[in-house]
Structure 1
């Protein structure tokens, strides 16, 4: 495999995330920067990368199924009346320049280009890590999208093209595949979190007492996008920016989202949830 360009993010004296900012990947996965592996403070990996069930799932990334008809998610494109279809429309997110790069924070500018290499969008992205408790740390994510062409950006999802419940697109975290079940629940919706707008939701998995892990996703504020959640066929969470209506970013405007994710060892802990909520507020 060709060499990739990556930057390690550290917390509590150890590497907790590898940010691959110049990936060397096939066009069909819509190449984009990603975080993998991401680990707990004890070293348990909590991301999945190019799993057999979805080769285009790249750990933690910013991915959208359709932006101005270009696929920045990877895999097939959902076509109204035909379903998932292989199209030659895969885009690429390319690093332009660093605005900041240190052990606990990176800030960069990127170009989103179509399959023909023409820039469609510009992005400013910031990733920050800090320790929350002795067994948990927090990842802060912020991204801002704007048009690179002087025309609007239009983002939609398979749900808007006829595939019910498939409103994914935006910040996406693919959890690791494994034999142990993964559980999902939220603050208000209990176990029915798919499509909810809960302030936070939890994914938990691993082996109790050994490699158990918890991911706590805190909604951006005040937008509170719906959550796209999978925990049965695979485990993943997306803060869905085009869940039930197209997102249009007018020329000259900037679309911004901010999220927080707590990565903890062990099963869900009310004290960790409380500490995360306090830090977020």
Structure 2
């Protein structure tokens, strides 16, 4: 059901730029994807969507905020990958019971190329090849990351999938040893934050969703707009455990324990991410989830 006051989304336009690519709906910029950018190594440079906008132009994301410069809009960040930090910033060191920057620990999710870059019917289709480098710039893994962006009633749906394969004998992936964040993460900024979260299991508020399992989590913006992140049933550890704060929404794949990918194997993940002008309500979000997994 189309939401009241929301008309048909204009046709998409996909444009390359000096950072990566941008997506427009009519004249409106809705997304900038930063595939490669010169950043301090301590931020563990990684591709990201920043900014992201609702159809009416409401800003969703926050990029490199002063409190956590390695938070970069919508991104995949992996806190521990073998001996490397692919999230950015300090590590929590349990033996010292505090966060510290660890020398020679920060890696890079390096953009190699766009294998697919097209408008496919009414959708944007992009596939990206990446290499994960450790602190010494040695390859640890290869990744194929894919996006399909389409209009849905009231806004946009981003289908995000990835395939991660170790280049060596194995890949051990772990979350922060304190707060347990790692994986697909959204840093929300003003005017969207402080956001009001709810989930597929009926819980309300980020405090009640944090570290709980759910198929999807939605968040209403403080001054309008709505986002939702959805975990596919084929993902390992589905339904995923979530990392939620007033300005954060993340699928915590590694929250409960580390994950090992053996040589010759691969980790495949699928998510949907919605950006809408208005909160459609849990029943409509559930219908959009059913369409995603159907």
TM-score normalized by structure 1? 0.88
Q: Deviation per CA, 1:171-190, whole angstroms, max 9, x where unpaired?
A: 11111145963111112141
Following superposition, the deviation at residue 86 of structure 1 comes to: 0.7
Match of 1:146 in 2: 165
Question: Displacement of 1:272 after TM fit?
Answer: 4.1
Point out where structure 2 has 5 or more consecutive residues left out of the alignment.
Answer: 1-16
Q: Does the alignment pair 1:116 with 2:136?
A: yes
- Which one of 155, 158, 180 corresponds to residue 167 of structure 1? 180
Q: Does 1:276 align with 2:288?
A: yes
- C-alpha distance in 1 between matches for 2:264 and 2:70: 31
Offset of residue 21 of structure 1: 0.6
For the residue of structure 2 that corresponds to 1:279, the secondary structure is: helix
Alignment match, 1:214? 226
Q: Distance in 2 between matches of 1:99 and 1:25?
A: 24
Equivalence for 1:242: 254
SS, match of residue 102 in structure 1 = strand
Q: Distance in 1 between matches of 2:192 and 2:216?
A: 26
- What do the CA deviations read for 1:87-129 (whole angstroms, capped 9, x no partner)? 1211011111221012512101100101111111110000110
1:70/1:91 contact within 8 Å kept: yes
Counterpart of 2:38 (choices 12, 24, 27) is: 24
Cα distance, 1:194–1:180 mapped onto 2, change above 3 Å: closer
> Is the CA contact (8 Å cut-off) linking 2:59 and 2:191 kept in structure 1?
no
Compare 252-261 and 94-103 and name the one that shifted more: 94-103
Residue pair 2:32, 2:50 contacting (<8 A) in 1 also? yes
Residue of structure 1 in register with 2:10 after alignment: none
C-alpha distance in structure 2 between counterparts of 1:115 and 1:53, whole Å: 23
Equivalent residues in 2 for 1:167-246 (5 A)? 167-178=180-191, 181-191=194-204, 192-207=208-223, 212-223=224-235, 224=238, 225-231=240-246, 235-246=247-258
| Candidates 63, 74, 89, aligned match of 1:49 | 63
The answer as to whether partners of 2:196 and 2:222 remain within 8 angstroms in 1 is no
**TM-aligned CA distance change 1:9 to 1:271, over 3 Å:** farther
What is the alpha-carbon root mean square deviation over aligned residues? 1.9
Once the 2 structures are TM-superposed, how far is the Cα of residue 148 of structure 1 from its aligned partner? Answer: 1.4
Change (3 A) 1:265 1:179: closer
In the TM superposition, residue 274 of structure 1 has moved relative to its aligned partner by 4.3
Residue ranges of structure 1 left out of the alignment (5+ in a row): none
Q: How many residues were matched structurally?
A: 265
- Is the CA contact (8 Å cut-off) linking 1:70 and 1:90 kept in structure 2? yes
| 1:4 Cα deviation from its structure 2 partner | 4.7
Q: Is residue 55–residue 155 contact of structure 2 (8 Å, CA) maintained in 1?
A: yes
Instruction: Give the corresponding residue for 2:3.
Output: none
Give me the whole-angstrom Cα distance separating, in 2, the residues matched to 1:137 and 1:38: 11
Q: Using structure 2 for the length normalisation, give the TM-score.
A: 0.85
Secondary structure in structure 1 of the residue aligned to 2:210? coil
